[in-house]
Protein backbone atom coordinates (compact mmCIF):
# COMPACT_ATOMS: atom_id res chain seq x y z
CA UNK A 1 0.00 0.00 0.00
CA UNK A 2 1.15 3.53 -0.67
CA UNK A 3 2.85 5.06 2.33
CA UNK A 4 0.36 7.55 3.71
CA UNK A 5 1.41 10.29 6.07
CA UNK A 6 -2.08 10.60 7.48
CA UNK A 7 -2.63 7.67 9.85
CA UNK A 8 -6.40 8.25 9.96
CA UNK A 9 -6.61 8.00 6.18
CA UNK A 10 -4.57 4.80 6.17
CA UNK A 11 -6.81 3.25 8.84
CA UNK A 12 -9.95 4.26 6.91
CA UNK A 13 -8.61 2.71 3.71
CA UNK A 14 -7.74 -0.52 5.51
CA UNK A 15 -11.21 -0.61 7.10
CA UNK A 16 -12.88 -0.06 3.72
CA UNK A 17 -10.76 -2.78 2.10
CA UNK A 18 -11.89 -5.20 4.81
CA UNK A 19 -15.51 -4.23 4.14
CA UNK A 20 -15.00 -4.86 0.41
CA UNK A 21 -13.66 -8.34 1.22
CA UNK A 22 -16.65 -9.03 3.48
CA UNK A 23 -19.13 -7.97 0.78
CA UNK A 24 -17.44 -10.14 -1.84
CA UNK A 25 -17.42 -13.04 0.59
CA UNK A 26 -21.16 -12.61 1.20
CA UNK A 27 -21.76 -12.44 -2.56
CA UNK A 28 -20.05 -15.81 -2.95
CA UNK A 29 -22.50 -17.39 -0.49
CA UNK A 30 -25.68 -16.40 -2.33
CA UNK A 31 -26.99 -17.13 -5.79
CA UNK A 32 -28.71 -15.18 -8.53
CA UNK A 33 -29.65 -11.54 -8.30
CA UNK A 34 -28.88 -11.35 -4.59
CA UNK A 35 -25.17 -11.22 -5.47
CA UNK A 36 -25.47 -7.90 -7.26
CA UNK A 37 -26.37 -6.05 -4.04
CA UNK A 38 -23.17 -7.21 -2.38
CA UNK A 39 -21.13 -6.35 -5.46
CA UNK A 40 -22.68 -2.87 -5.62
CA UNK A 41 -21.70 -2.18 -2.02
CA UNK A 42 -18.17 -3.50 -2.67
CA UNK A 43 -17.90 -1.25 -5.73
CA UNK A 44 -19.05 1.84 -3.83
CA UNK A 45 -16.59 1.16 -1.02
CA UNK A 46 -13.81 0.69 -3.60
CA UNK A 47 -14.74 3.99 -5.22
CA UNK A 48 -14.48 5.76 -1.86
CA UNK A 49 -10.94 4.39 -1.49
CA UNK A 50 -9.99 5.66 -4.95
CA UNK A 51 -11.47 9.06 -4.15
CA UNK A 52 -9.53 9.30 -0.88
CA UNK A 53 -6.26 8.33 -2.60
CA UNK A 54 -6.85 10.80 -5.44
CA UNK A 55 -7.47 13.55 -2.88
CA UNK A 56 -4.25 12.68 -1.04
CA UNK A 57 -2.26 12.50 -4.28
CA UNK A 58 -3.51 15.91 -5.39
CA UNK A 59 -2.82 17.41 -1.96
CA UNK A 60 0.79 16.22 -2.13
CA UNK A 61 1.26 17.48 -5.69
CA UNK A 62 -0.25 20.91 -5.00
CA UNK A 63 2.62 21.59 -2.59
CA UNK A 64 5.13 20.98 -5.39
CA UNK A 65 3.67 22.98 -8.28
CA UNK A 66 5.13 26.25 -9.44
CA UNK A 67 3.26 29.54 -9.44
CA UNK A 68 3.01 29.30 -13.24
CA UNK A 69 1.32 25.90 -13.00
CA UNK A 70 -1.15 27.29 -10.46
CA UNK A 71 -2.91 28.92 -13.41
CA UNK A 72 -3.92 25.39 -14.42
CA UNK A 73 -5.97 25.22 -11.24
CA UNK A 74 -8.19 28.05 -12.36
CA UNK A 75 -11.17 27.29 -14.51
CA UNK A 76 -13.84 29.38 -16.15
CA UNK A 77 -17.45 28.94 -15.08
CA UNK A 78 -20.25 30.07 -17.36
CA UNK A 79 -23.46 31.57 -16.05
CA UNK A 80 -26.38 33.43 -17.57
CA UNK A 81 -26.13 31.52 -20.84
CA UNK A 82 -28.39 32.60 -23.72
CA UNK A 83 -28.97 30.85 -27.03
CA UNK A 84 -28.21 32.86 -30.13
CA UNK A 85 -31.10 33.37 -32.55
CA UNK A 86 -29.11 31.79 -35.36
CA UNK A 87 -30.50 28.85 -37.30
CA UNK A 88 -27.20 26.99 -37.08
CA UNK A 89 -26.91 23.53 -35.67
CA UNK A 90 -24.18 20.92 -35.77
CA UNK A 91 -24.89 17.55 -34.19
CA UNK A 92 -27.80 19.09 -32.25
CA UNK A 93 -25.56 21.66 -30.54
CA UNK A 94 -26.76 25.26 -30.42
CA UNK A 95 -24.60 28.34 -30.19
CA UNK A 96 -24.92 30.42 -27.07
CA UNK A 97 -23.34 33.37 -25.34
CA UNK A 98 -22.63 33.42 -21.65
CA UNK A 99 -20.96 35.48 -18.99
CA UNK A 100 -18.04 33.70 -17.46
CA UNK A 101 -15.70 34.23 -14.59
CA UNK A 102 -12.49 32.60 -13.52
CA UNK A 103 -12.83 30.45 -10.44
CA UNK A 104 -9.86 29.43 -8.37
CA UNK A 105 -9.62 25.79 -7.34
CA UNK A 106 -9.41 25.11 -3.62
CA UNK A 107 -8.76 21.66 -2.25
CA UNK A 108 -10.55 21.00 1.01
CA UNK A 109 -12.26 18.09 2.74
CA UNK A 110 -15.43 18.47 0.69
CA UNK A 111 -13.96 19.08 -2.76
CA UNK A 112 -16.00 17.36 -5.44
CA UNK A 113 -14.38 14.18 -6.81
CA UNK A 114 -15.05 15.34 -10.39
CA UNK A 115 -13.09 18.54 -9.77
CA UNK A 116 -10.23 16.57 -8.20
CA UNK A 117 -10.07 14.37 -11.29
CA UNK A 118 -10.15 17.34 -13.66
CA UNK A 119 -7.33 19.13 -11.83
CA UNK A 120 -5.26 15.93 -11.69
CA UNK A 121 -5.67 15.61 -15.45
CA UNK A 122 -4.69 19.26 -16.09
CA UNK A 123 -1.59 18.88 -13.88
CA UNK A 124 -0.67 15.58 -15.59
CA UNK A 125 -1.00 13.68 -12.31
CA UNK A 126 -3.52 11.41 -14.05
CA UNK A 127 -3.27 10.26 -17.62
CA UNK A 128 -6.29 10.59 -19.90
CA UNK A 129 -6.86 6.84 -19.39
CA UNK A 130 -6.85 7.19 -15.58
CA UNK A 131 -9.16 10.18 -15.79
Report pLDDT for 29.
95
DSSP string, 32-43: TTHHHHHHHHHH
Report pLDDT for 104.
79
pLDDT, tens digit, for every residue of 52-85?
999 998 988 888 877 667 777 777 788 888 888 8
d(CA 80, CA 74): 20
pTM more than 0.75: no
Nearest to 54 by CA among 128, 122, 119, 129: 119
Phi/psi of residue 45, each to 5°? Answer: -65, -40
Bigger pLDDT: 50 vs 90: 50
- Element spanning 60, H or E: helix 34-62
Amino acid sequence: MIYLVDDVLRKNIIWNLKQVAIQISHAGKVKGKARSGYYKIALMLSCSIVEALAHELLKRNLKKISSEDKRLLENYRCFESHFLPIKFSVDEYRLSVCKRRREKFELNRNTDFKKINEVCLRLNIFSKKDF
